[in-house]
Chain A
Amino acid sequence: AIQLTQSPASLSAAVGDRVIITCRASRGIDRDLAWYQQKPGKSPNLLIYGASSLKSGVPSRFSGRGSGTEFTLTISGLQPEDFATYFCHQFNTYPLTFGGGTEVEI
């Protein structure tokens, strides 16, 4: 199975900060990567697919880059509602896999 390694596992940031989360795949997955946001007690919410395409309705402060094995999620200008856990997910090969998550705390 393709392993996804996210870093950091957690980070502390302030409103207005720029935050970058990294996801590394154990082998190349082209651009078959998505990012999800999850808040406590809620189901995950798709932010980005195809490594860099923003889902309709998602604020433009979220952006994704990368291809192959190295990917990033950037939040430019952190807002109070962005404090959550973020997961990367590869859909290149079954079994589908997820990164371990990055908790963004105040």
Chain B
Amino acid sequence: QEHLVESGGGLAKPGGSLRLSCTASGFTFSDYYINWIRQVPGKGLEWVSYIGGSSRTIYYRDSVKGRFIVSRDNNKRAVYLQMNNLRVEDTATYYCARDSGFGEGMDVWGQGTTVAVSS
């Protein structure tokens, strides 16, 4: 079965850092783009970052540029989101989701990991 599992969430102070991981199983990991999407409880979905299969293409939403860094290790079947200089407004559940890049949407999502930023 095709799975993504996030980890690394927790409580951080404003200005602090956290590193999220997204680990894949059950499919050829390097064939897929990975997106990070976040959701404040009870609110909508907000795209955060994208990384291509070979890491050559990376995108971020403006509010996290310069603070978040996305990377991947295809040998470990993992994508990472290094979150630095955290802000209260980064508090959310963070999901990773795969995308084939062929216009088929994000068809496999992880269960999410919760990030809380508070003093």
Contacts and interface: CB of A to CB of B under 8 A. Distances in A.
B47 A96 contact: yes
B109 A45 contact: yes
A43 B111 contact: yes
A43 B47 contact: no
B53 interface: no
Nearest to A51: B103
Contacts of A96: 35, 47, 50
A98 B103 contact: no
B61 A46 contact: no
Contacts, number: 59
The interface centre, meaning the residue of B46, B61, B106, B111 with most chain A CB atoms within 10 A of its CB, is B106
Task: Give the contact-size bracket for chain A.
Answer: 20 to 34
B105 interface: yes
Contact of A94 (B44, B50, B106, B110): B50
Interface string A89-105: 10100111111110000
A55 B106 CA distance: 11
A50 interface: yes
B105 A95 contact: no
A55 B105 contact: yes
B44 A95 contact: no
Given A43-B95, A97-B47, A101-B44, A49 B105 contact: yes
A82 interface: no
B90 interface: no
A78 interface: no
A49 B104 contact: yes
